[in-house]
């Protein structure tokens, strides 16, 4: 049996997979087992921010793996690589966020944030936005997408509430004295690259303060240069100061890793034993993340993302004007962009046509195809992707 047959036979299938067995990658490209080349505009859902097999990542893995991968007694002992990453991130985080903890995934970071806000406030209610996505743990699923999603899992958490994303009036009606926290993305990723008004986050923060609720800003997908700023909350006007900031995906360029940062006030309420994890802040993950974050900073890739995002969005706008019968709109922030289609089935057809022509894109709920190339994507690669999209859209129209 080949790779696809083996996975289909022995693996649990929670999603519809594309018929491609990726064997290797370099930069913005990947190759399947037959040697066919594909331009990757998914970045593994925004993870491979430096592209595939970037030398700073492979060097960090090789160097640290020769020293130690996992500490004895895990987090009970100190680690030079963990200390280095803590110091590096402290310099880049908003100054009011003073303490960090590392996790294995964005879902774990968000789960811990929700758990801690409930423990600290003594309240249970969490307010989230319709269309949001914060992870696949029970805690994070309970504040993701909407009631049609959360009611699939038992027991339900009826005290949690969803409001329209970007609607501060609806948020004001939802948050009350029973609210432990609001969790919100600066830009919704899985929700379809939905971008709120610049004042939205600050308005939510003010509402939280009025009711002694905490604000969790989920930067799992938007952080580390993806939207044209190192953290997407930097787009907020006026500035916003969340109580907890969660991070993941691009933090380690493809290595499973995440983090959350808290204020001094939150840290002062955390007690020994409130949280932990076997692999949290393991030396190998910390070494990789430190190398990625240093590269992002030294090469000023957030600014590069902002500049190339303008090029990509401009090309997508031209496609919208060319295919108005298919495309309702386009939108984006930095190198997180979306094609908004008029019909759901068009997304799947486009995704398959792109795959057939050597381009990988991300089909997304709400009739959206998401584009998230590496932050090191070139102008030529953007033009190549736009040409393939053009041909693929034309085939959809023709069929």
Whether 218 sits among the annotated catalytic residues: the reply is: yes
Q: Which of 38, 101, 102, 133 is catalytic?
A: 133
Looking at the predicted structure, is the pLDDT value of residue 92 above 70?
Answer: yes
pLDDT, tens digit, 9 for 90 and up, residues 293-339: 999 999 999 999 999 999 999 999 999 999 999 999 999 999 999 99
Six token digits for residue 373: 């190339």
The residue annotated as part of the active site, out of 218, 260, 333, 341, is 218
Model confidence, pTM = 0.97
* Domain range list for the chain: 56-298, 300-336+352-367+388-399
Per-residue pLDDT tens digits for 327-345: 999 999 999 999 999 999 9
Is 80 exceeded by the pLDDT of residue 355? Answer: yes
Helix (H) or strand (E) holding 40: strand 37-40
pLDDT band of 17, cuts 50, 70, 90: confident
Distance between CA atoms of residues 275 and 56, nearest Å: 31
**Among 179-183, 227-231, 274-278, the least confident range:** 274-278
Among the listed residues 123, 125, 249, 333, the single catalytic one is: 249
DSSP-derived pairing of the beta strands 214-219 and 179-184: parallel
The pLDDT of 356-373, averaged and rounded, is: 96
Residue partners of 336: CB distance under 8 A and separation at least 6: 46, 187, 189, 193, 221, 222, 226, 227, 309, 370, 371, 372
pLDDT at 154: 62
**Is the confidence at residue 235, as pLDDT, over 90?**
yes
Assess whether 133 carries a catalytic annotation. yes
Q: Is 162 a catalytic residue?
A: no
pLDDT digits (tens, 9 = 90+) for 24-79: 999 999 999 999 999 999 999 999 999 999 999 999 999 999 999 999 998 899 99
> Helix or strand or coil: residue 72?
coil
Q: What is the mean pLDDT of the chain?
A: 96
Query: Structure tokens of 353?
Result: 């046509």
pLDDT of residue 152: 77
Judged against a pLDDT cut of 90, whether residue 150 lies above it is answered with no
Residue 210 has a pLDDT of 98
CATH architecture of 56-298: 3-Layer(aba) Sandwich (3.40)
What tens digit of pLDDT does each residue of 178-215 get?
999 999 999 999 999 999 999 999 999 999 999 999 99
Alpha-carbon span 94 to 75, nearest angstrom: 25
Alpha-carbon distance of 377 to 315, in angstroms, equals 15
Q: Can you say how many angstroms the Cα of residue 106 is from the centroid of all Cα atoms in its chain?
A: 8
pLDDT tens by residue, 97-148 = 999 999 999 999 999 999 999 999 999 999 999 999 999 998 898 899 888 7
The Cα-based distances of 151 to 80, 143, 178 in angstroms read 44, 11, 21
């Amino acid at each position: 049996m080949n790779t696809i047959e083996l996975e289909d036979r022995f693996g649990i299938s929670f999603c519809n997979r594309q018929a491609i067995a990726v064997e290797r990658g370099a930069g913005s490209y990947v190759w399947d087992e037959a040697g066919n080349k594909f331009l990757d505009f998914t970045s593994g859902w925004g993870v491979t921010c430096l592209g595939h097999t970037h030398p700073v990542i492979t060097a960090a893995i090789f160097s640290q793996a020769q020293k130690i991968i996992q500490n004895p007694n895990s987090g009970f002992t100190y680690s030079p690589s963990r200390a280095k990453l803590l110091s590096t991130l402290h310099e880049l985080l908003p100054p009011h966020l003073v303490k960090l903890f590392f996790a294995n995934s964005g879902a774990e970071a968000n789960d811990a944030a929700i758990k801690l806000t409930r423990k600290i406030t003594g309240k249970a209610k969490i307010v989230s936005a319709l269309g949001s996505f914060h992870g696949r743990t029970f805690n994070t699923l309970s504040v993701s997408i909407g009631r049609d999603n959360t009611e699939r899992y038992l027991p339900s958490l009826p005290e949690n509430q969803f409001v329209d994303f970007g609607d501060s009036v609806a948020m004001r009606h939802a948050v009350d004295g029973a609210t432990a926290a609001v969790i919100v993305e600066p830009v919704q990723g899985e929700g379809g690259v939905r971008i709120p008004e610049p004042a939205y986050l600050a308005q939510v923060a003010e509402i939280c303060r009025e009711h002694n609720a905490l604000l969790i800003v989920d930067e799992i997908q938007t952080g580390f240069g993806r939207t044209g700023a190192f953290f997407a909350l930097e787009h907020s006007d006026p500035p916003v100061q969340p109580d907890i900031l969660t991070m993941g995906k691009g933090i380690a360029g493809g290595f499973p890793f995440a983090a959350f940062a808290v204020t001094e006030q939150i840290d002062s309420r955390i007690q020994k034993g409130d949280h932990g994890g076997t692999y949290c802040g393991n030396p190998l993950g910390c070494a990789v993340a430190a190398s990625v974050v240093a590269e992002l900073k030294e090469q000023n890739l957030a600014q590069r993302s902002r500049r190339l995002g303008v090029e990509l969005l401009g090309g997508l706008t031209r496609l919208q004007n060319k295919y108005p019968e298919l495309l309702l709109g386009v939108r984006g922030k930095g190198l997180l962009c979306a094609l908004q289609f008029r019909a759901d089935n068009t997304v799947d057809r486009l995704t398959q046509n792109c795959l057939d022509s050597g381009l990988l894109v991300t089909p997304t709920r709400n009739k959206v195809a998401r584009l998230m190339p590496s932050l090191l994507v070139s102008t030529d690669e953007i033009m190549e992707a736009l040409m393939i999209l053009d041909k693929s859209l034309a085939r959809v129209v023709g069929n």
